Amino acid sequence: MATYRSVFDAAELRAQFNDAGINTKFIASIWKYVLQNPGCKLQEIPDLPSPAYLLLRSKFKPLTSTVHSVFHSTDGVTTKLLVRLQNGAFVEAVIMTYDTRLGKYGGKPRLGGPRSTLCISSQVGCKMGCKFCVTGTMGFKNNLTSGEIVEQLVHASHLTRIRNVVFMGMGEPLNNYTALVEAIHVMTGSPFQLSPKRITVSTVGIIHAINKLHSDLPGLNLAVSLHAPVQEIRCQIMPSARAFPLEKLMTTLQTYQKNSQQKIFIEYIMLDGMNDEEQHAHQLGKLLETFQVVVNLIPFNPIGSSSQFRTSSDQRVSEFQKILRGTYNIRTTIRRQMGLDISGACGQLVVNLPDKRTGENTSLLTDIEDLRI
């Protein structure tokens, strides 16, 4: 069967247009039409030169992926999309609704209202093998093309207006670097027009890629899955950490922060008795005290009864936060869990089919991207 490329595979589409002598200025209008007209055919796009229609029809599809199913959480603010790719594999994307009024700006409540953040996948499965993350149990299947990454935003945009994008879904984004950079360039251009400040890329700490990130994608938010304050614990829970020693990673982040002049988000999953004790909080505080960071403490989501880890108690999480804030003056938030019942929460993204359930709206949340002010 012939494999078609997505029209959102920007580099491929541009190269084909250039080879055929078609002006690439038409690309933005193709994307706009596909975005605004779900289910359209390429020949329906108005005002293209005739060679463009021939080329598009022979090599491209408006979308190569389809939404297989949509799951609404009983929390009323989380929706998970199960997206089927052209090769038959599935990835997941999660829409989270937040309320900007819950953030603060200059000490006063922010203006605005509810809006949505999309959590995007960059790979089918993941090769990092973090022991607390169920996606890691799938192993690595394949990288997504830049078009398949962008199509998750297209699908989600048909359900709600997306203001923020976080690359915290399936996969390690910086292991699919070229496609990631290309996809984000598409998202920040016409017709999506997302601000780089509203895009966050999360990584376990792929040092060579972090070194390139600021020059390739200036203005972006970087989130680092640190999860332990010392290399030994990090290696126990994140086997990939052996390739990225903590000392080298912190030196890389120092350079990144100096060049970007931006806060770095630190993700820290709370595992009972493993990395959540008072000494760990002090070790983390000392590790980060020279940085401008926001630490995001993430309660662990047990993955079935077989999990080797337990969730830290609320009291332990709260004490950990107090040490980071009080002793080290580090901005620290606790992530409230969203979408647990649809396996849409942090560390739970693995292709499965939960029961379709919907629930009443509960209180809306403040979002990590609002913490940068």
3-state secondary structure of 296: strand
d(CA 14, CA 182) in angstroms, rounded, equals 12
**pLDDT for res 112:** 62
CB atoms within 10 A of CB 142: 14
**pLDDT for res 98:** 75
CB neighbour burial string for 179-193, b if at least 16 within 10 angstroms, e if fewer: bbbbbbbbbbeeebe
CB atoms within 10 A of CB 119: 27
Half-sphere exposure of 196 (CA within 13 A, CB side): 15
**pLDDT for res 115:** 81
Query: What DSSP string describes 300-329?
Result: ----STT-S--BPPHHHHHHHHHHHHHTT-
**pLDDT for res 368:** 39
Return the closest-CA partner of residue 154 out of 273, 246, 39, 243.
39
**pLDDT for res 306:** 55
Contact present, 109 and 91 (Cβ < 8 Å): no
**pLDDT for res 138:** 80
**pLDDT for res 365:** 38
CB atoms within 10 A of CB 169: 24
DSSP label of 263: -
For 277, 292, 309, 312, 326, the CA distances from 272, given in Å and listed in that order, are 8, 27, 7, 4, 22
d(CA 66, CA 183) in angstroms, rounded, equals 18
For 112, 188, 273, 298, 344, the CA distances from 134, given in Å and listed in that order, are 35, 31, 20, 15, 11
Kindly state the helix (H) or strand (E) to which residue 223 belongs, with its residue range.
strand 221-225
**pLDDT for res 327:** 98
Return the closest-CA partner of residue 148 out of 196, 92, 205.
92
Contact present, 371 and 354 (Cβ < 8 Å): no
Q: What is the pLDDT of residues 263-317, one digit of tens each?
A: 999 999 999 999 999 999 999 999 999 999 999 999 888 766 557 899 999 999 9
| Max Cα–Cα distance, the chain, nearest Å | 68
d(CA 304, CA 136) in angstroms, rounded, equals 14
Q: What is the pLDDT of residues 336-352, one digit of tens each?
A: 766 566 555 554 445 54
CB atoms within 10 A of CB 128: 23
For 236, 251, 345, the CA distances from 299, given in Å and listed in that order, are 18, 27, 10
Phi, psi of 252 (to 5 degrees): -60, -40
Helix axes 146-157, 10-19, angle to 10 degrees: 110
Return the closest-CA partner of residue 293 out of 324, 270, 316.
324
| Whether the model pTM is above 0.85 | yes
> Two tokens at 204?
């376990």
Residues of the chain with confidence (pLDDT) below 50: 347-349, 352-373
Catalytic residues, by residue number, are 92, 346
**pLDDT for res 107:** 63
